[in-house]
C-alpha cells in the first residue's frame, strides 16, 4: 500500500495510507491531510492518483511547496520523494519501507549506545568523515538504508540514494536488497540486486562500505 509519511523535524507525526484517488492537503481541518502551520495554506496542495502514478499538485499556495529545495507545482511522485510544506516533510513510500515508520528508531551511533545492549545484535560498521568507526544496530526484520530522513539508517554520502537498499531477516537468514539505487549495491565487491549476507561480509552502498557483523 502506497503511503505518505509526514515528519515535523525528526518526529513522524502522521502516516497516511493512500486508499482513495484524491487527498487534499492544507491547514483547514476538513482536509484529508491536515497540517497545522502558518506557512500552510487552507487548501495548499493535493495528491491525485493517475494512470501514471501519484501526482503532487500545489494549489497556488501562498508559501509554496518544495522538492529538494526547489519550488514545485506539479510532480509525479517517485519512491522516497520528500515534499516540504511549511515545517512539514511529506515522504512518499510506494512499499519499500515495509515497517511502521512510527516505531522508535532502531539505529544508534556507537558513541551513544550502551555496549551491553549490542551483544548478539546484528549491526553494520562503517566510518565517519573523521575516520572514527560508527555502528548501527539492526533490531527489526526490515531496515532501510539511505540518505532520506525516512530511512532507518541515514548515511550522508553523495553516492548513496535516498532509499538505497534494505536489510531483511527471513527464514533465519539475513539478506540485502537494492532499491533501484543510482550507484548500485555490492557484497564483497560483487554487484548484486539481492544477496544473502553473512558475518564479516562487506556491503557497499554506492562507494560507502560497511562490515556486516552478527
Owner of C-alpha cell 544496530 = 137
- pLDDT mean over 77-100: 77
Prediction pTM value: 0.50
pLDDT band at 95 (very low <50, low <70, confident <90, very high): low
Q: Residue 200 to residues 12, 24, 107, 109, 145: CA-CA distances in angstroms?
A: 33, 48, 19, 20, 18
- At 127 the pLDDT is 83
State what percent of residues in the chain have pLDDT above 90.
Answer: 53
Q: How far is CA 129 from CA 57, 158, 164, 183, 205, in A?
A: 39, 13, 20, 20, 16
Residue 195 — φ and ψ, nearest 5°? Answer: -155, 145
Binned at pLDDT 50, 70 and 90, residue 203 comes out as very high
Residue 147, pLDDT > 70, answer yes
Burial grade of 118 (CB within 10 A; 0-12, 13-18, 19 or more): middle
Please give the share of the chain, as a percent, with pLDDT higher than 70: 87
Spatial separation of the C-alpha atoms in residues 191 and 203, rounded to whole Å:
10
CA 65, 69, 73 angle in degrees (round to 5)? 35
| Average pLDDT for 206-214 | 92
Distance (Å) of CA 115 to CA 85, 119, 165: 39, 7, 26
Take residue 45 and report the three cell numbers written for it: 496542495
- State the pLDDT confidence band at 48, using cuts at 50, 70 and 90: very high
Q: What average pLDDT score do residues 167-180 get?
A: 92
Amino acid at each position: 500500500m502506497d503511503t505518505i509519511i509526514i515528519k515535523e523535524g525528526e518526529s513522524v507525526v502522521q502516516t497516511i495510507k493512500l486508499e482513495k484517488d484524491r487527498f487534499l492537503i492544507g491547514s483547514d481541518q476538513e482536509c484529508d491531510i491536515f497540517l497545522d502551520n502558518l506557512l500552510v495554506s487552507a487548501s495548499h496542495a493535493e495528491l491525485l492518483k493517475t494512470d501514471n502514478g501519484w501526482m503532487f499538485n500545489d494549489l497556488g499556495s501562498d508559501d509554496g511547496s518544495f522538492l529538494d529545495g526547489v519550488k514545485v507545482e506539479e510532480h509525479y511522485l517517485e519512491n522516497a520523494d520528500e515534499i516540504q510544506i511549511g515545517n512539514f516533510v511529506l515522504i512518499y513510500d510506494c512499499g519499500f519501507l515495509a515497517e511502521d515508520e512510527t516505531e522508535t528508531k532502531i539505529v544508534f551511533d556507537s558513541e551513544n549506545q550502551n555496549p551491553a545492549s549490542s551483544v548478539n545484535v546484528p549491526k553494520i560498521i562503517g566510518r565517519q568523515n573523521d575516520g572514527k568507526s560508527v555502528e548501527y544496530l539492526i533490531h527489526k526484520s526490515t531496515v532501510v538504508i539511505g540518505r532520506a530522513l525516512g530511512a532507518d539508517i541515514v548515511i550522508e554520502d553523495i553516492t548513496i540514494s535516498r532509499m538505497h537498499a534494505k536489510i531483511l531477516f527471513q527464514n533465519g537468514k539475513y539478506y540485502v536488497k537494492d532499491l533501484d539505487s543510482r550507484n548500485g549495491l555490492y557484497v564483497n565487491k560483487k554487484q548484486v540486486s539481492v544477496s544473502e549476507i553473512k558475518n564479516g561480509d562487506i556491503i557497499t552502498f554506492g562507494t560507502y562500505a560497511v562490515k556486516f557483523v552478527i
